Structures are given as structure tokens and as C-alpha cells.
Amino acid sequence: LVVTGSDEHLWKMWALPDGNILMTGEGHTDWISGCCFRPSGTQLVTSSGDSTVRIWELSRRGCILTLRGHGRAVRDCSWHCSGHLVGSASMDCTSRIWDVGSERCRQTLRGHKDSVNSIEFLPFSSTVLTSSADKTLSLWDSRTVSRLF
């Protein structure tokens, strides 16, 4: 399976190698910049130019949670390997760590001087890697919000 986002405000799930569309998600009001499966495979997280992050329940074929808080477009999203946290990277120069269970932002990572374009949790750790249009990479401890590098 592969999931893609588009300028049409939709995400699509494709079966490979035949290329059939299995599912489509509607709900964002601007382009979709990122899509990532929950480690269990039951949910999907998407990020969008509409400044939101959405969690989709694949069995219900719909959005179950919209996370709001970024001031500008969200460029990327990622699940933590535990499946309980989601990271988002935004053009507002911040990244956020969201607790999916409580539906709240747990941490806001500040320090980049330009758009944060990607976010990734390092496997089996609390370390987060972000990259920015300011031409820097940063490693963060998501528990303490301290910049490691």
C-alpha cells in the first residue's frame, strides 16, 4: 500500500503493483503535504496547507481528529513508533508533538529561523529530527523540548 497527498485536498491509498485506488480521504481545505501510517496500520496522519493535522481511522474511512495550533501551513507529519504521538512540522517555524489520546499538543519545538519542512522520530527513542529552510537540522529530546544538536 502507498498513500499520496495532493493539491486537490485529497489523500489516496493505492494498491501496488496494480495501482488501484482503495480509499480516498476528503476533509482538508488546502493541499496535503504529508501522509504517514500509524505503526499498527489502523490509522493515517496527514498534514496540510490549511494549518491542520488530521488523524484518519481507516476502518471507518473518515477523519476522527483534527489537530489545530500551527499558525501557517503544516509541511510534514510523522508517527512515533509507540503509535501514541504524532509530530508536525510547519511553515510557522515550529514543530509540535501531539498526544493523540488526549488530543492536545504536548510540546512545541522552537528554534528554527525559517519554515520547518520535515519531522521524524528516531526509532524507539524520544529523539526527534527536524529540518528547516534555514538550512539546519536539529535533534530534539521530545520529553524536555531541549535541542540536542
Per-residue pLDDT of the chain in tens (149 residues, 90 and over written 9): 999 999 999 999 999 999 999 999 999 999 999 999 999 999 999 999 999 999 999 998 899 999 999 999 999 999 999 999 999 999 999 999 999 999 999 999 999 999 999 999 999 999 999 999 999 999 999 888 788 77
What pLDDT does 143 receive? 85
CA dihedral 41, 46, 65, 74 (to 10 degrees): 150
What pLDDT does 104 receive? 97
How far from chain centre, in Å, is Cα 24?
18
The three three-digit cell numbers of residue 1, written as one number = 500500500
What pLDDT does 142 receive? 87
- Regarding pTM above 0.85, the answer is yes
Assess contact for 109 and 76: CB atoms under 8 A.
no
Domain residue ranges of the chain, discontinuous segments joined by + = 30-141
Calpha distance 149→127 (Å, rounded)? 11
CATH code assigned to 30-141: 2.130.10.10
What pLDDT does 145 receive? 79
What pLDDT does 61 receive? 85
What pLDDT does 92 receive? 98
